[in-house]
Amino acid sequence: MKAVVFAYHDMGCTGLNALINAGFEITAVFTHADSPNENHFHGSVAQTAQDKGIPVFMPEDINQPACLEQLGALAPDAIFCFSYRQVLSQQILSCARFGAFNVHASLLPAYRGRAHLNWVLIKGETETGVTLHRMTSRPDSGPILAQQAVSITAEDDAFSLHTKLVATAGEKLASWLPALREGKLIEQRQDEAKASCFGRRKPEDGQINWAESAENIHNLIRALASPWPGAFSEANGKRYIVWKSRFSREPHTDAPGTILSTDPLVVACAAGTLEIVTGQCEEGVKLSGAELGRRMGMAKGQISVK
105 in the same domain as 34 = yes
180 in the same domain as 225 = no
φ, ψ (nearest 5 deg) of residue 279: -150, -170
Q: Give the number of other Cβ atoms within 10 Å of residue 237's Cβ.
A: 9
Q: Which ranges in the chain belong to alpha helices (H)?
A: 9-21, 45-51, 65-74, 90-93, 116-122, 158-181, 214-223, 289-295
Q: Is 59 domain-assigned? A: yes
Domain closes at, from 194, 211, 240: 194
- Sheet strands (E) in the chain: 2-7, 25-30, 56-57, 78-82, 99-104, 127-134, 144-151, 231-235, 238-248, 259-262, 265-268, 273-281, 286-288
Q: Is 302 domain-assigned? A: no
- How far CA 227 is from CA of 40, 159, 160, 222, 283, in Å, comes to 9, 7, 11, 11, 16
pLDDT of residue 282: 82
291 in the same domain as 150 = no
Note the residue count of the chain: 306
Domain closes at, from 194, 223, 243: 194
Q: Any idea what DSSP says for residue 76?
A: -
234 in the same domain as 140 = no
179 in the same domain as 73 = yes
Q: Is 33 domain-assigned? A: yes
131 in the same domain as 13 = yes
Tell me the C-alpha distance between 44 and 42, whole Å: 7
176 in the same domain as 210 = no
Per-residue pLDDT of the chain (306 residues; tens, 9 = 90+): 999 999 999 999 999 999 999 999 999 999 999 776 776 789 999 999 999 999 999 999 999 999 999 999 999 999 999 999 999 999 999 999 999 999 999 999 999 999 999 999 999 999 999 999 999 999 999 999 999 999 999 999 999 999 999 999 999 999 999 999 999 999 999 999 999 999 999 999 999 999 999 999 999 999 999 999 999 999 999 999 999 999 999 999 999 999 999 999 999 999 999 999 999 998 889 999 999 999 999 999 998 676
pLDDT of residue 284: 87
Tell me the C-alpha distance between 170 and 181, whole Å: 17
Phi-psi region of 205 (alpha: psi -120 to 50; beta: other; left: phi over 0): alpha
Give Cα 51 to chain centroid, integer Å.
Answer: 26
Q: Is 134 domain-assigned? A: yes
41 in the same domain as 172 = yes
Q: What is the CATH number of the domain that holds 156?
A: 3.40.50.170
Tell me the pTM: 0.94
Q: Is 20 domain-assigned? A: yes
φ, ψ (nearest 5 deg) of residue 193: -65, -20
Q: Is 135 domain-assigned? A: yes
161 in the same domain as 53 = yes
Q: Is 304 domain-assigned? A: no
Domain closes at, from 132, 159, 194: 194
Q: Nearest to residue 165, comparing CAs of 252, 54, 82, 248?
A: 82
> Containing domain of residue 266, as a range?
203-295
Q: Contact at 8 Å (CB) between 267 and 217?
A: no
163 in the same domain as 226 = no
User: Would you call 204 helix, strand, or coil by DSSP?
Assistant: helix
210 in the same domain as 93 = no
pLDDT of residue 304: 64
Q: How many domains are there within the chain?
A: 2
207 in the same domain as 190 = no
Tell me the C-alpha distance between 26 and 20, whole Å: 7
